[in-house]
Amino acid sequence: MPFLAIEASSEYLSFAINTPSGIVSREWLAGQKQSEVTLPYLQTFLNECGLTMRDIEGIAYPSGPGSFTGLRIGCGITQGLAFARNIPAVGISTLLAIAEASGAIRVVSCLDARMNQVYFSAFENRNGQWHTVIDALVCNPEDVPLPDGDGYTGVGNGFSAYQAALETRLGTKISTVKPDLYPHATQLLTLALPHFAAGEGLAADQAQLVYLRDKVALKTHERVQK
């Protein structure tokens, strides 16, 4: 039973499908053109896999946080495709997806939220299952909460954008940093498959996003103050 993952929350657009030989994926650098290229690239990917949407049994999508526009595009396309096929959808946290990509046991996930802030969460993998250590939030990099214990791997572009502030704040909590990791459809699908297997997929109209904040950009006077 093939399931599809669509990841459009960053400048990279990716898709993944599970096959008898494992998960296959494809990625494009879409920049700010997700609305223009997602459906055509999805069709290309399906053709390469020898599949059509009629073969897909469920769709995983990024539930956020991340780019407002990219998240809405990914969720909207997922809702449309899932509704047309009457198949379930599963939303996966972008912060958890990059934790999964890290290969680490303890992970601090941090994405650049713009406006001098970060999206932040911490996770620990226990016996193959991810557990949330710190719930997802948005805050200034110098104010991120400290997870219990140490030996965490820091992942995500927040560590590129606010390296000094995060390293000062987290100190010895962090042993390794992988700032180049970003959400990818492969990890979305890996995390979503157990939910599909357990019958935990949602109807298309119930697919939701986690924004963490409603404000998209600073006003002119706020940018001047910064």
Per-residue pLDDT at 134: 98
Per-residue pLDDT at 215: 46
Instruction: Specify the higher pLDDT residue, 175 or 210.
Output: 175
Residues 116-162 pLDDT 10s = 999 999 999 999 999 999 999 999 999 999 999 999 999 999 999 99
| Mean pLDDT, all residues of the chain | 93
Give yes or no for residue 226 having a pLDDT over 70: no
The two structure tokens encoding residue 217: 């950009």
Within 10 angstroms of residue 14's Cβ, the number of other Cβ atoms is: 24
Residue whose pair of structure tokens reads 């959808």 in the numeric block: 89
CA gyration radius for the chain? Answer: 18
Average pLDDT of 97-122?
97
Residue whose pair of structure tokens reads 């995390």 in the numeric block: 191
CA dihedral 62, 64, 70, 76 (to 10 degrees): 60
Per-residue pLDDT at 214: 59
The two structure tokens encoding residue 61: 């999508």
Q: What's the predicted TM-score (pTM) here?
A: 0.91
Residue whose pair of structure tokens reads 């400048």 in the numeric block: 11
Residues 188-224 pLDDT 10s = 999 999 999 999 999 999 999 988 875 444 343 333 4
Residues 37-82 pLDDT 10s = 999 999 999 999 999 999 999 999 999 998 889 999 999 999 999 9
Answer whether 160's CB lies under 8 Å from 112's CB. Answer: yes
